[in-house]
Amino acid sequence: MEVFDHPWRAASLAGAADSSEMRRRLVHVGMGLFALVVVSFWQTLLMGLSGLALAWVLPKWMPSLLRPHEQAQGYSVGVIAYPAAVVALTLLFPNDLWIVAGGWAMMAYGDGMAVVCGQGLRGPRLWWNPRKSLFGTLGFILFGWLGTLVTALVTGGHPFTPAGLALVILAAAVVAALLESLPYDICDNPLVAGATALTLCLATQLDLGAWQAAQPDVAARMPVAIGLAVALALLARATKSVDWSGALTGAAFALMLYAALGGLGVIGLMAFFIVGTAASKIGYEKKRAKKAAQEIRTWRNAVANAGVAALCAPLAALTPRPDLFAVAALGAFAAAASDTVAGEIGRAYGGTPYSIVTLRRARVGDNGAVSLVGLLAGLATALGFGALAFLAADPSLHRAAWCIAGGGMAGNLIDSLLGATAENAGYLDNEAVNFACTLSGAMLAVFLFAL
């Protein structure tokens, strides 16, 4: 279900059945049948590019394929994003086409059937997102799992036993369904396909031997991890910078980070929390006067800023390359902290900001507005998080300092670019942009470290 169909969402929540929407969803699901014939890189790329071309021209020939509000603009972001996701996956996984087919199938069957089940069966709404229903999410998991499993078995090329493949795809379906259910304004098609592909790719990297080797350390850290999680939740609430949902989410992240990465993981989280809280307090009266002060943060802010790092933590214990995921976690924190400090300091002392896209003057607090003072503060923060690599017990991480700093600053700039473009256009909300910022910081830090 795309997030740009607000009129249809309102009708759905009111209980109105939209038969035209159901027809569009059946087309959405039917396109997944093409994933069954994925056999080569060029053939798959050609199918994706052909779909992308059709996504541009078909609505002009058959405007009934679009929802009423999309007909006014002449195109649908969701329709275009569908084949675009296939093209992107094909280019990212040219030698693992079963992953491409899996992401395609989950996007078709899981996301498509979520709407069919949600509208057809109705039922209770999700407490974290009233726009989505419980039956819709369960339908996503069930049909996404079955459709993707059949597709992967037909296309072949995966390294798992049938039982192992079923378990891995079930995990991918749950991850994709949960991400799709979050109340973020982001296009579902690439989100579902990308999350599925990433989960399948990471599953191929899991190593039982690595987990057996890491298990004693994880078990030994667990009591301290629990204590740190409780202390962090209480400290966060005491500063009144987050509500209880944000405090508890941050506590769960702290437990994961310390248990899997040790002191380095929780130091990264604490450094982000302290730096971000301090930056938000600096010049608060000035920012409030400019109506640019940061409001109290919730679990959504916690997921957007620390979710990527928290996801990296267990992977450090489940793969033979814990150093890569430690660098990724610090890169994510560096990006989040750099963006936060740049924004907070820039709003208070940066003077007149400028759009990062047009370089024209902008208002304080505008999406994509940057100032020299803010950028310098963000750079200093990224360098500070890079220095945390020198605190690592593993000497191999010491050379990662510049990689983490580079990833952090790049994530900060990507955040501003997305804010000035996708967020201003209504395609992403602030939390989605922040999540993209931290993901970019983590990925670039790992890329530089692996060179």
DSSP for 209-270, written as a single string: HHHHHHHHHHHHHHHHHHHHHHHHHHHHHHTTSB-HHHHHHHHHHHHHHHHHHTHHHHHHHH
Question: Which helix or strand (DSSP H or E) is residue 126 part of?
Answer: strand 125-126
Angle at which helix 244-261 crosses helix 208-238, to 10 degrees, equals 150
Is 23 in the same domain as 159?
Answer: yes
Are 106 and 114 contacting, i.e. CB atoms less than 8 angstroms apart? Answer: no
DSSP tag of 293: P
Q: Please state the pTM of the whole predicted model.
A: 0.80
Is 174 in the same domain as 321?
Answer: no
Q: Is residue 1 part of a domain?
A: no
Is 26 in the same domain as 90?
Answer: yes
**Comparing C-alpha atoms, which of 306, 53, 93 is closest to residue 204?**
93
Contacts of 288 (CB under 8 A, 6+ apart): none
Is 348 in the same domain as 390?
Answer: yes
Query: Helix, strand, coil % (nearest 5) of the chain?
Result: 75, 5, 20
Task: Give the end of a domain, one of 184, 203, 222.
Answer: 203
Three-class SS of 47-80: HHHHHHHHHHHHHHHCHHHCCHHHHHHCCCHHHH
DSSP tag of 36: G
User: Per-residue pLDDT for the chain (451 aa), expressed as one digit of tens each?
Assistant: 333 344 434 433 333 345 566 667 777 898 999 999 999 999 999 999 999 888 777 666 666 666 665 666 666 777 888 999 999 999 999 999 999 999 999 999 998 899 888 877 877 998 888 888 999 999 999 999 999 999 999 999 999 999 999 999 999 999 999 988 987 666 788 989 999 999 999 999 898 888 899 999 999 999 999 999 999 899 888 877 788 888 999 999 999 999 999 988 989 999 998 898 888 877 655 555 555 445 678 888 899 999 999 999 999 999 988 899 999 999 999 999 999 999 889 888 878 889 998 888 888 878 889 999 999 999 999 999 999 888 777 787 888 999 999 999 999 999 999 999 988 877 788 888 999 999 999 999 999 998 8
Is 301 in the same domain as 376?
Answer: yes
In this structure, the dihedral spanned by the alpha carbons of residues 42, 43, 48 and 50, taken in order and rounded to 10 degrees, is: 110
Contacts of 216 (CB under 8 A, 6+ apart): none
pLDDT by residue (tens digit) across 45-84?
999 999 988 877 766 666 666 666 566 666 677 788 899 9
pLDDT of residue 6: 41
Is 168 in the same domain as 62?
Answer: yes
The CB density around residue 33, as the number of other CB atoms within 10 Å, is: 13
Task: Give the end of a domain, one of 170, 187, 203.
Answer: 203
Question: Which helix or strand (DSSP H or E) is residue 378 part of?
Answer: helix 372-387
Are 84 and 49 contacting, i.e. CB atoms less than 8 angstroms apart? Answer: no
Is 188 in the same domain as 304?
Answer: no
pLDDT by residue (tens digit) across 242-280?
888 889 999 999 999 999 999 889 899 999 988 988 888
Are 333 and 306 contacting, i.e. CB atoms less than 8 angstroms apart? Answer: yes
Question: Which helix or strand (DSSP H or E) is residue 104 part of?
Answer: helix 97-105
Is 351 in the same domain as 431?
Answer: yes
Domain count along the chain: 2
Output the DSSP codes for 305-350.
Answer: HHHHHHHHHHHHHHSS-HHHHHHHHHHHHHHHHHHHHHHHHHHHH-
pLDDT of residue 365: 78
pLDDT of residue 297: 80
Burial of 286 (0-12, 13-18, 19+ CB in 10 A): middle
Is 179 in the same domain as 278?
Answer: no
Task: Give the end of a domain, one of 167, 182, 203.
Answer: 203
Is 274 in the same domain as 312?
Answer: yes
Helix (H, G, I), strand (E, B), or coil: what is residue 133? strand
Radius of gyration of the chain (CA): 22
User: Distance (Å, rounded) from C-alpha 335 to C-alpha 362?
Assistant: 23
List the structure tokens of 260.
Answer: 């899997």
Phi, psi of 65 (to 5 degrees): -70, -20
Are 374 and 345 contacting, i.e. CB atoms less than 8 angstroms apart? Answer: yes
Amino acid residing at 189 = N
User: Distance (Å, rounded) from C-alpha 175 to C-alpha 132?
Assistant: 16
DSSP tag of 420: I
How big is the chain, counted in residues? 451
88: domain range? 6-203
List the structure tokens of 409.
Answer: 């600053």
Q: Is residue 259 part of a domain?
A: yes
Is 232 in the same domain as 99?
Answer: no
Is 164 in the same domain as 219?
Answer: no
First to last CA, the chain: 39
Contacts of 312 (CB under 8 A, 6+ apart): 325, 326, 328, 329, 332, 442
Phi, psi of 354 (to 5 degrees): -130, 150
Q: Is residue 142 part of a domain?
A: yes
Q: Is residue 243 part of a domain?
A: yes
Residue 30 exposure: Cα atoms within 13 Å on the Cβ side:
6
